[in-house]
């Protein structure tokens, strides 16, 4: 196949970027989208041009490193698929593809398609954990956890922190990411002692980072490669409102 790609090129955080058009020949339908970019980069290097920078690592859809907006869709729009797992067979010969970085104030562009998602780490640091010091744990089976709770917690815990939710949201909101973590820990008995302070601190950090608010449009969940449900945002709201009304205290 022959493909034309319009790629966002930006030297660094300080300079302005622009879309540059490239032609890629000999694209195989079995290639992943990133392998197509690899091929393009080899062509660029051969011509003496700098390769396009993009984040990627495991290339099997779990590390959450990769992620670009392809033709207006975060990760390309295929259901439950990261950019690295998107294959060229979902495009046609002669297609023109626009490739842009995640766009959000909280995710500044570092270079080309690479953005800084440190805001997510800071949200986790604000409280996205259970304070169980090494060595302090009781026997793993001492607290049974209802299968339904464990399964639902797992659904939320699957978040790979890729940032597609923010990229797809018309408001660049990080609610789905935050909701997933708050729900994962809040659904487990081990997560109860810190449940209220956790949600208050994580939401406060989320707001500080400059993400937009949630208008419940649902594009986040639709773009999420792990299909994390919008209902987790409902859960986050419930936890946050409950915690706010009690001032974060778990005891009367």
Partner 1 sequence: MAAALTLYRSTIGKKAIMALSGIIWYGFVIVHMIGNFKIFEGAEAFNKYSHFLREVGYPAVPEGTILWVIRIVLLVSLVMHVLMAIQLTRLDVSGRPVAYKKKRTKQASFASMTLRYGGLAILFFVVYHLLHFTTGAAHPDFEYGNPYNNVVIGFTAQPLTAVFYIVAVAALGTHLYHGVWSALQTLGLNNRRSDKLFRGVALLSGVVLFLGFAMVPVSVLLGIVK
Partner 2 sequence: MTIETKPQVDSRSSVTYTDARLNANIPAGPIEQKWSKHKFEMKLVNPANRRKYTIIVVGTGLAGGAAAATLGEMGYNVQAFCYQDSARRAHSIAAQGGINAAKNYRNDGDSVYRLFYDTIKGGDFRAREANVYRLAELSVNIIDQCVAQGVPFAREYSGYLDNRSFGGAQVARTFYARGQTGQQLLIGAYQSLSRQVAAGTVKLNERTEMLDVIVIDGRARGIITRDMVTGKIESHVADAVILATGGYSNVFYLSTNAKGCNVTAAWRAHKRGAFFANPCYTQIHPTCIPVSGDHQSKLTLMSESLRNDGRVWVPKQAGDNRAPEQIPEDERDYYLERRYPSYGNLAPRDISSRAAKQVCDEGRGVGPGGLGVYLDFSDAIKRLGENAIRARYGNLFDMYERITGENPYKSPMRIYPAVHYTMGGLWVDYNLMSTIPGLFVGGEANFSDHGANRLGASALMQGLADGYFVLPSTIGNYLATGGYDKVDQSHPAVQEALNEVTQRTQKLLDINGTRSVDSFHRELGNIMWEYCGMSRTKEGLTHALKLIPELREQFWNDVRVLGSGNELNQELEKAGRVADFIELGELMCRDALERAESCGGHFREESQTPDGEALRNDDEYCYVSAWEHMGDPSQAVLHKENLEFENVKLATRSYK
Show the DSSP H helices in the chain as ranges. 33-46, 118-125, 147-157, 164-168, 175-186, 195-208, 219-223, 231-245
Residue 236 interacts, among partner 1, partner 2, none and using kind-specific CB cut-offs from 5 to 8 Å, with partner 1
Is 207 an interacting residue with respect to partner 1 (CB under 8 A)? Answer: yes
- Residue number, 215 or 227, with CB nearest to partner 2: 227
Is 52 an interacting residue with respect to partner 1 (CB under 8 A)? Answer: no
Is 189 an interacting residue with respect to partner 1 (CB under 8 A)? Answer: no
Residue 126 interacts, among partner 2, partner 1, none and using kind-specific CB cut-offs from 5 to 8 Å, with partner 2
Rounded distance between C-alpha atoms, residue 236 and residue 252, angstroms: 22
Print the binding letters for residues 193-232 with partner 2: x by CB under 8 A, - otherwise: ----------------------------------------
Determine the size of the site formed for partner 2 (CB under 8 A).
Answer: 79
CB of 106 to partner 2, least distance (A): 14
b vs e for 143-182, b when ≥16 Cβ sit within 10 Å of the residue's Cβ? eeeeeeeeebbebbbebbbbbbbbbbbebbbbbbbbbbbb
Rounded distance between C-alpha atoms, residue 149 and residue 155, angstroms: 10
Rounded distance between C-alpha atoms, residue 62 and residue 80, angstroms: 11
CB of 248 to partner 2, least distance (A): 17
Print the binding letters for residues 6-45 with partner 2: x by CB under 8 A, - otherwise: -----xx---------------x-xxx-xxx-xx--x--x
DSSP letter at 53 equals P
């Amino acid at each position: 196949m022959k493909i034309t790609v319009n790629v966002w090129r930006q030297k660094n955080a300080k300079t302005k970027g622009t879309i540059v058009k490239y032609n890629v020949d000999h694209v195989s339908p079995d290639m992943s989208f990133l392998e197509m970019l690899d091929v393009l980069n080899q062509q660029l290097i051969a011509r003496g041009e700098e390769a396009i920078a993009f984040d990627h690592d495991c290339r099997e859809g779990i590390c959450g490193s990769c992620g670009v907006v392809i033709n207006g869709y975060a990760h390309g729009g295929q259901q439950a698929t990261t950019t690295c797992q998107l294959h060229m067979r979902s495009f046609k010969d002669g297609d023109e593809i626009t490739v842009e970085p995640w766009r959000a104030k909280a995710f500044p562009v570092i270079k080309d398609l690479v953005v800084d998602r440190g805001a997510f780490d800071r949200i986790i640091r604000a409280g996205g954990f259970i304070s169980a010091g090494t060595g302090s744990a009781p026997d793993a089976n001492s607290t049974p956890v209802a299968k339904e709770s464990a399964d639902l917690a797992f659904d939320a815990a699957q978040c790979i922190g890729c940032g597609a939710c923010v990229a797809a949201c018309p408001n660049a909101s990080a609610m789905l990411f935050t909701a997933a973590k708050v729900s994962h820990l809040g659904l487990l008995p081990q997560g109860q002692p810190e449940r209220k302070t956790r949600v208050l601190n994580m939401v406060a950090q989320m707001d500080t980072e400059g993400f937009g608010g949630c208008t419940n449009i649902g594009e986040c969940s639709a773009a999420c490669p792990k299909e994390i449900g919008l209902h987790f945002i409902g859960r986050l709201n419930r936890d946050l409102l409950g915690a706010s009304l009690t001032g974060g205290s778990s005891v009367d």
